[in-house]
Structures are given as structure tokens and as C-alpha cells.
Amino acid sequence: MHKSSLSGILGLSKYSIIKIEEHPEKILIHVKLRRRTGVCPGCSKRSSKVHEHTSPQTIKHISIGCRQTHLIVYKRRFWCSVCQKTYNEKINMVKKWQRHTDLLEDEIIQGLREMSFLGTQKKTGVHYQQQVEILKKFMKPFEANWKRESRMKSFSLGMDGHSFSGHDMVLTVTNLTIPKMISILPSDKKKDIDHFLNGIPKDVKPKISAVCIDMTAGYKSSLKKHLPDARIVVDRFHIIQDANNRIDEERCIANEMLKFEAPKKLFLRNKEHLTDQQQEQIKRWFKKLPDVGVLWFFKESLREMYTSKDSEQAQKRLDLIISGLYKQQSKTTSDWARTLERWYEPILNYFDYKITNGYTEGMHTRVKGNFVLVFS
């Protein structure tokens, strides 16, 4: 590959290419800055006196085809006669403490519009956490656009945490009434949630009638502090998911203690979705695992509660479920009952607002492809 053409493709006009090493998966380009002088960071005076040549520094750069490029930069250390000190010359296209170029950041942003984090990592060699940090530079999560909401009489918010590729959580915030994306917070930590909620315009806050969340206590406490007039609605699907988690945990314990192999999927199926054969199977398992059977019964009771015609009927059914759990007199059922008591009002608020985070969760799959557009 010719040096002059490569220099133009890779944006290396300010560098002299010393040599090029081509490998199957990467290209190593040895470069040095063309300028013969360096600028002192202390007094801003230029100096041409080279004190020493430092060890080459490897910098990740943009890819060519399917191969990643790495710049092997030969740096100089200059002597400033004014300050009587030495200093390293500054590398173009690279910010302080970075080990990749600004052009690579642009490539990553473009890549995430078209592919997953994993696909972008394979193409650029930049791992997930670095990609997230680069994305954060382009994000303004605490500067949401509330223009449409300011014109609305009332609306409901959705808040849902999500972990991309199994890494740290981010928090998606949506308007469930329109619906539309509002923001994605860089984490689901309380400080970020408080920062965001505190930044909602004063004329918009009273218009937020309800907020749908999962069963994260931190979300609830932040909402009570910053949006005291908004009703908190716990997502019905998270209530059932919590029930299924409790059933599966009890199944795993029983399998280990009794050396059984009770199948997971059978106990997670809803009652009406069981075939005649599966109904017979589950009855036989409940005779062997009565504690699992009890939890499954109360999970189905919760599902039935969500078919209630109004909050009054739902409240009666929920009260029966909680009292029934306590009557079992086991730690497992008592813990579940206390959880339902803690979320008592948010559970019943569903019947007044009928909102879920289905839209919010659906936005997670669209976030990567439109990450920059979301915050523009």
C-alpha cells in the first residue's frame, strides 16, 4: 500500500509515515510528526531543541476494510530554554490520556448506528466499556427536550433499567402517553436519577400524572422526593416476573435437596397455556414439591388479580393473596407477602392508569441504532 495514498485515507497529513507493517488482522503504521518544533505547555513558546526521543506509543486508529490500524507514534521530548524544563510533544488527533484517535471515535459512533456493540468491537478493536465512554461524550442525558410535554394537559412517564451486553445498567425514560423517547441516563444510580428528575422544568412536573417503574426501591424513593404528586405504577409484568423468579428459586432448592430434576419451563408456563398432558405432569410434580405448588398457585392468583374490572376488586383480591401467603407460615411466603405490601399502592395504581413499560423496554432494541439521534 502506497504511503501517500494511505496518508490521505487515514487523515495523517500532519505525520510522516516511516514504515508500514501489514498483518492478516491489523496494519501497523509507524509515524512521526512533520513539525520540527514543539510548543511548551508552560509558556507556549516553540522550541526546536530535542532533549530525547521517547519510546514509541501505540494508538488505535480507524479500520481499513476488515483490518484495524494502529499508529506507532515516535514522540520527542523538547527542551524549553524559557522554562528550563522538558516536555513531550503533543500528538494530533489524540486527547490527553487517550489511546485512540478522534477519528476512531467517529467510526465507533457510525458503527453503533448500524450494528451491535459486539459487532463494533470486532471491527474497531474497542471493547464495550470504551464504546460506552465514547457514547457518553455525545450524550446530553440531563438536557431532555420537554417542549411537547409542556403543551400537554397530563402524561405518564416510563422508567426502565437495561444492561447492554450484560454490562452496567442504563436507564431509559419515555413518555408513555404520546409515546416517545425522552432520555437515556448513563446509569440507574440514584444520583443520576435525582439529577434528571430535579432538572425537569417546573411547569412540566405537575403534568406528570403517573410513572411506571420496575420493582427497584431506589426508583420509587427518588420519584417520591422529586415528583410527590405523580402516582407510581409498578409494571405488572415485573410483578409476575418476580413471582416466576421465586418459583424457580424454590424449584432449584428442592431439586438440589431431593435430587430431583423438576423442569424449569413447566413451572413458568401460565395455567391456560398448559396442555392436558402438562397439567397432569405439573400435578404429579406438586405432590413431590408442595412448596413449589403453593408459590405457583399464588402466582396464578396474581395473574387473575390483573384481570379485575377495577381497583376495588383488585384490592380485595390482593388482600386475599397477601393474607394467604402469611397463612402458609413459611419464610419464603412471608417474604413475598411483605414485598407485595411494600408495593401495595403501586400495584393497585395500575388499575387507574393501565400503563406498562412495554414501549420503554421496546426502545432498548432501537437505542444502539439511533443513539446519537436520541440526544440531538
pLDDT, one tens digit per residue, over 59-109 is 999 988 888 999 999 999 999 999 999 999 988 888 877 888 989 988 887
As a residue count, the chain comes to 376
The pLDDT assigned to 372 comes to 41
Are the C-beta atoms of residues 295 and 303 closer than 8 Å to each other?
A: no
The pLDDT assigned to 316 comes to 98
| Helices assigned H by DSSP within 35-161 | 102-114, 117-124, 128-138, 147-150
Name beta bridge partners: 169.
163
Looking at the fold, whether 254 and 348 belong to one and the same domain comes out as yes
Looking at the fold, whether 340 and 362 belong to one and the same domain comes out as no
pLDDT, one tens digit per residue, over 222-261 is 999 999 999 999 999 999 999 999 999 999 998 888 888 8
Looking at the fold, whether 227 and 279 belong to one and the same domain comes out as no
The pLDDT assigned to 122 comes to 86
Looking at the fold, whether 250 and 341 belong to one and the same domain comes out as yes
CATH number at residue 227: 3.30.420
Looking at the fold, whether 271 and 285 belong to one and the same domain comes out as yes
Looking at the fold, whether 316 and 282 belong to one and the same domain comes out as yes
Number of domains in the chain: 4
Q: Is the dihedral of CA 142, 148, 149, 155 positive or negative?
A: negative
Are the C-beta atoms of residues 109 and 163 closer than 8 Å to each other?
A: no
Looking at the fold, whether 252 and 224 belong to one and the same domain comes out as no
Integer distance in angstroms from the first to the last C-alpha of the chain?
A: 39
Which residue shows C-alpha cell 397455556?
Answer: 273
Run means of pLDDT, 10 residues per run, the chain, 376 residues? 69 89 91 92 93 92 89 94 93 84 86 75 85 74 84 97 68 92 87 95 97 96 97 98 96 86 88 93 92 96 97 98 97 97 98 95 64 42
The domain of 153 spans: 147-235+357-374
**pTM tops 0.85, yes or no:** no
Which residue shows C-alpha cell 405488572?
Answer: 236
Looking at the fold, whether 87 and 126 belong to one and the same domain comes out as no
Sheet holding 67-73, edge to edge: 15-22, 26-33, 67-73, 57-64
Name beta bridge partners: 80.
85
The pLDDT assigned to 165 comes to 53
Domain-ending residue, one of 81, 108, 138 = 138
* CA nearest neighbour of 174 among 376, 369, 45, 364: 364
Looking at the fold, whether 222 and 184 belong to one and the same domain comes out as yes
Looking at the fold, whether 84 and 227 belong to one and the same domain comes out as no
Looking at the fold, whether 110 and 125 belong to one and the same domain comes out as yes
242/249 Cα distance (integer angstroms): 11
Looking at the fold, whether 210 and 160 belong to one and the same domain comes out as yes
Which residue shows C-alpha cell 405432569?
Answer: 281
- Give residue 356's Cα distance to chain centre: 19
